[in-house]
Amino acid sequence: MERRDVIVMGGSAGAHAALRTLLARLPTDLPAKVLVVTHLAPGARSTLAQMLSKDCALPVSAAVDGEPARNGHVYVAVPDRHLIIDDDSILRLTAGPRENRARPAADALFRAAARWCGPRVAGVVLSGSLDDGAAGLAAIAQHGGAALVQDPDEARFPGMPAAALSAVPSAVTAPAAGLARLIAEMAGRPVGDAGQPDPALVWETDMIAEGHTEGAVPSKPIALSCPDCGGGMYEIRTGQAVHYACHVGHSWSPQTFVAATDHSIETALWTAVSAMQEKVTMLRNLAANAERAGDEQACHTYRDESDRVGRDAELIRTTILDNESAADQRPA
């Protein structure tokens, strides 16, 4: 009989404190393995495993590719690699396409666990901005797993917990300490048989695990292009959650897609300001040359054009700065 023996946790900003509280309260005989993903800078050396081990009675270590996951052990993702688990409880570290512009990403781990472990899984979404983990938690719930979410009122950054609850309204919420109690209660309990995974889930997890898949994206195309590669995007629905994937496997939740689009727009606008400033410089040089040559009409024409372009550049610059100020006021 299958038992619930896989706990997957995902978080971002503010999640370290929640993880320390939660893991410190897990029993030493926990009949489940625990996999943890937080957003990590790709070039940095992560010390998260060492930090968490100070408070946790269970052994904590950085995940190793090909390592069998053991019950009563905590495995932490490493920078620039997705952490996933297969149906034989073997850990995989992959360089698959980024999800929500992150690698590792909570959604990648959650989807892999939903596909290969089904009802054996409990997914936990912790503090963080935007909405990574929401669609992955929906996949876990859809495939018979348990869904747990840190209470948004306790989370330092409530964006990820709030998005997870919107995607999975039936998820159980609790403060970090309460989540530990819930995990201890459900770990090792019998669960039902796993059904067949959703075709879209198979496609996405193949792309994460192997970087390729034999089938086409089993979802409808949508008039959006991938912020990472410019490829066409497809809309994928999982319960009440929706996300988008391109043909090479980059995956985007709605809020993260909007944030990436904002970044692309800002970059394009700053590029425009730079080009316009270069034009102003050249027009002023032309005006000066015309003045030295005694061509007053050309001089005035170049100066008028320079002033117009300069005003337009300043308008764009002011718009960018105003948008940045407004963004700072938005909730996480």
In a domain, 195, yes or no: no
Residue 175: inside a domain: yes
Whether residue 235 is found in the same domain as residue 105: no
Are residues 245 and 116 part of one domain? Answer: no
Residue 281 placed within a domain: yes
C-alpha dist (Å) from residue 240 to 126, 142, 170, 196: 19, 10, 11, 19
Give yes or no: residues 237 and 318 share one domain.
Answer: no
Two tokens at 20? 């320390």
Residue in 260, 227, 256 with CA at minimum distance from that of residue 242: 256
Q: Which of 5, 107, 132, 198 is catalytic?
A: 132
If asked whether residues 36 and 101 sit together in one domain, one would say yes
CATH of the domain at 230: 2.20.25
Same domain as 122, residue 102: yes
The pLDDT of residue 330: 53
Asked if the structure places residue 191 within a domain, the reply is no
84-108 burial, b if ≥16 CB within 10 A, otherwise e?
Answer: bbbeebebbbbebbbbbbbbbbbbb
Where among 238, 255, 272 does a domain terminate? 255
And the tokens for 274? 């730079």
Q: Are residues 29 and 115 in the same domain?
A: yes
> Model confidence over 151-167: pLDDT tens digits?
999 999 999 999 999 99
Residue 197 lies in a domain: no
12 labelled catalytic:
yes
Question: What's 172's domain CATH number?
Answer: 3.40.50.180
Tokens of 91: 């850990």
120 DSSP 8-state letter: G
Helix (H, G, I), strand (E, B) or coil at 224: strand
The model's pTM: 0.85
307 as an active site residue: the answer is no
Same domain, 106 and 217: no
164-188 pLDDT per residue, tens: 999 999 999 999 999 999 999 999 9
Q: Is residue 113 part of a domain?
A: yes
193 is catalytic: no
Domain encompassing residue 177: 6-186
Please tell me whether residue 56 adopts helix, strand or coil conformation.
coil
- Does residue 300 fall inside a structural domain? yes
Number of domains in the chain: 3
Query: Exposed, middle or buried, 245 (CB in 10 Å: 0-12/13-18/19+)?
Result: buried
- Express each pLDDT in 5-42 by its tens digit: 999 999 999 999 999 999 999 999 999 999 999 988 77
Same domain membership, residue 216 and residue 173 = no
Residue 246 maps to a domain: yes
